Structure 1
Amino acid sequence: MKIRTVGMCRRPECAGAEPHEDDEGTRFFGVPAWMICLAVCAAMPIALLAYTYTSR
């Protein structure tokens, strides 16, 4: 399974060119990797607090 996407570059000098590697970094299923990391970092403390609360 290929994780890195191939998309159209949005720079004006690339208009009408062949599709090439995404210039905005690695994407997982179309979602930027930085967004996934941000969601995980925000959800981890919530999950740990929930686990601590339910285990008491």
Structure 2
Amino acid sequence: MKIRTVGACQRPECAGVEAHEDDHGTRFFRVPAWVVCFVLCAAMPVALLAYTYASR
């Protein structure tokens, strides 16, 4: 199973034409890469603050 894939275009007007990339770009486990990056950027500071609080 590939970790990083690019989804194929699923628009109705693209049916029957040569396969090409969709407008969402790179995906990780069928989730757009920008969503994964956003979640990681939001979760990392929270995790660091929680670790700092727990270690005191």
Question: TM-score with structure 1 length normalisation?
Answer: 0.73
RMSD: 2.1
Q: List, as ranges, runs of 4+ consecutive aligned residues in structure 1 with deviation greater than 4 Å.
A: none
CA-CA distance at 1:4 after TM superposition: 1.2
Unaligned runs of 5+ in 2: none
Unaligned runs of 5+ in 1: none
Equivalent pairs, count: 54
CA-CA distance at 1:22 after TM superposition: 3.0
More strand per residue: 2
Distance in 2 separating the partners of 1:11 and 1:45: 42
